[in-house]
Amino acid sequence: MPTCRHCASTYPREQFIHGNGPKTQVCVRCGLDLGLISKEDALNMYNGDLANARFGIVARRYSILLYIPILWTLWVMFLSNVDPWGTYFLILILLLTALGPVWFIYRSGKFSGDMARLTPQYERPKGH
């Protein structure tokens, strides 16, 4: 993958400005900051609403990996000695722990589709 000559970050080819001279090997973000392109020319940049929507999708996908340890901690600290609710909660946590990875893998297609839907279209110019 190419590297931006201003910020030295590595991005896929879609994140670079096309052109010669001062625009050569410059990422879109540096191009906007340096005034090499206008915001309308940077269609592959994400606006705030799109970034928030993408973040929400990622948060929903990985939230199960956060909830399971929190539920186990709650059970160990508070509910392990409470009869019969401690046992019911333990059974529920065991089911969630067993089905969590299956659900995570099962929903990966929807996650990929939602992320693709929220990714701006990019047309690569000839020669790139």
- pLDDT tens for 65-89 read 999 999 999 999 999 999 999 999 9
- Give the mean model confidence (pLDDT) for residues 101-121: 91
Output the pLDDT for position 63: 95
pTM above 0.75, yes or no: no
Q: Which residues contact 128 (CB under 8 A, 6 or more apart)?
A: 13, 18
Compute the distance between CA of residue 10 and CA of residue 3 in angstroms, rounded to an integer: 4
In a domain, residue 36? The reply is: yes
38 and 89 co-located in one domain: no
82 and 93 co-located in one domain: yes
35 and 61 co-located in one domain: no
111 and 58 co-located in one domain: yes
- Give the mean model confidence (pLDDT) for residues 45-68: 89
Q: What is the largest CA-CA distance in the chain?
A: 74
Top-ranked range on mean pLDDT: pick from 41-45, 81-85, 124-128: 81-85
Q: Tell me, rounded to whole angstroms, the distance of Cα 69 from its chain centroid.
A: 21
- Taking all residues of the chain, what is their mean pLDDT, rounded to a whole number? 89
Output the pLDDT for position 127: 64
79 and 107 co-located in one domain: yes
Q: What is the DSSP letter of 4?
A: -
Output the pLDDT for position 10: 93
- List residues bridging with 49 in a β-sheet: none
53 and 111 co-located in one domain: yes
54 and 65 co-located in one domain: yes
Top-ranked range on mean pLDDT: pick from 22-36, 38-52, 88-102, 113-127: 88-102
- Give the mean model confidence (pLDDT) for residues 112-117: 92
Domain range for 99: 48-117
Domains of the chain: total: 2
In a domain, residue 7? The reply is: yes
Alpha helices in the chain (DSSP H): 28-34, 48-74, 85-106, 108-117
In a domain, residue 35? The reply is: yes
